[in-house]
Amino acid sequence: MPKKKKSSKHRTDFRKNHQGRVRGGDLTRDFTGGKEMADLSQGERVSGKGDLTRKRTIATESHSDDAESTAHLISGRVISAHGLKCKVMADDGAMYECAIRQVLKSLSIDGRSAVVAGDYVWFRAETPQDGMIQRVAPRHGIICRTSRGQQHVIVANIDYLLIIASAAQPGLKPVLIDRFLLTAKQCDVEPVIVINKIDLVDPTSLQSLIGAYAALGFRVLMTSAESGVGVDYLRELLHGKQTALAGQSGVGKSSLLNVVQPGLGLAIGRVSTDNDKGRHTTTTSQLIPLANGGAVFDTPGIRQFQLWDISAGEVAGLMPDIRPYVNACRYPNCLHLSEDDCAVKDAVADARIDARRYDAYCHLLEDDLLVED
């Protein structure tokens, strides 16, 4: 006799806008059949059940039966997710265009999407090219930002975050670099700073800034997709790793990938001469397997990157050069902006903290976090 599959039941929150339409709350006002209002019972009302109307009981297989419950499904990884469709590469290399199971789309989660690029999933094949995603494996190593008040997960299951900046066209933005560094620290992902287009400037002009990041323990790499400087080192760094590329539009993310793996043919845009800003050529995060092992995620260019789940009081503790001075301030809740007897500001005045790093810290709090708080 076959062994009976064990299952467990869970009460799960669902999104409010995925529920059916609610009946009118006061039927007596709309009643027009045969009776006068004075003859109707005034104590009867029809209403919903509050939060219970947005909860459902779902049955899931126990963890001990995971292998059995997914035996009839195909495992793979999401290459890209756009709208209601996901491109999934199965473990055997076959490509499928997959929809997302309705129960996954309806779950009440912090993020905007139930499935993102980089997710490991199990899906049911509907045709040789189409499928339906049934389950999503737990994530690690995510990169996310705030978008419309929600968590926007850009990629999942990565080892490195390559923070791509350009020495010129567009110019270097330390504030944006520090936003990505904080996100990498919060998500426990190793960051690598890549300064591209080094052929357009004198490298010695960046020596002090690169030295400041290197002194904090961050790996910094100077590259040029045009001249090939640093490309061999970058190719070796990516070998066997899951890496996401992030940076503003126009810094040359797609150009670097085209040089690292010739033949990719990724679209490349020009930087506007009017405002020194790049044009979006990558519209969605996309996983690209590398010929020598590993994979990279080419992400859309981001001009503004709002931090997710980081409060104003936590920023200083996540910055390794500011953290040692935090506890020496006069006030325990000091934000190191305009407070008196601030050890952080004293360290900046004494050049123990790089002034550009402190300026980036102030921008983070004043532009985003203090407004949200």
Q: Which residues contribute to the annotated binding site for GTP?
A: 196-199, 247-255
Strand-pair partners of 7: 61
Do the beta carbons of residue 156 and residue 117 sit within 8 Å?
A: yes
Closest alpha carbon to 154 in 187, 176, 202: 187
Backbone angles phi, psi at 287, to 5 degrees: -85, 130
* Cis peptide bond prior to 170, omega within 30° of 0: yes
Residue 64 phi/psi, 5-degree rounding, is -70, -20
What are 182's two structure tokens?
Answer: 């904080």
**Residues linked to residue 89 through DSSP beta bridges, in sequence order:** 77, 95
Annotated binding site: which residue ranges? Answer: 196-199, 247-255, 329, 334, 336, 342
Spatial distance between the Cα atoms of 156 and 193, rounded to a whole number of angstroms: 19
Give Cβ neighbours of residue 207 (< 8 Å, ≥ 6 apart): none
Task: Please answer whether residues 326 and 316 qualify as being in contact, where contact means their C-beta atoms are separated by less than 8 angstroms.
Answer: yes
Q: What residues pair up with 155 in beta bridges, in sequence order?
A: 143
Instruction: Encode 231-243: b = buried (16+ Cβ within 10 Å), e = exposed.
Output: beebeebbeeebb
Q: Which amino acid, 306?
A: Q
Tokens of 264: 């990719």
Q: E strand or H helix at 208, and its extent?
A: helix 207-215
Instruction: Please give the helix or strand (H or E) that residue 184 lies within, else none.
Output: helix 174-186
Q: Which two tokens stand for residue 76?
A: 């793979």
Token output for 238: 């990516």
Annotated binding-site ranges for Zn(2+): 329, 334, 336, 342
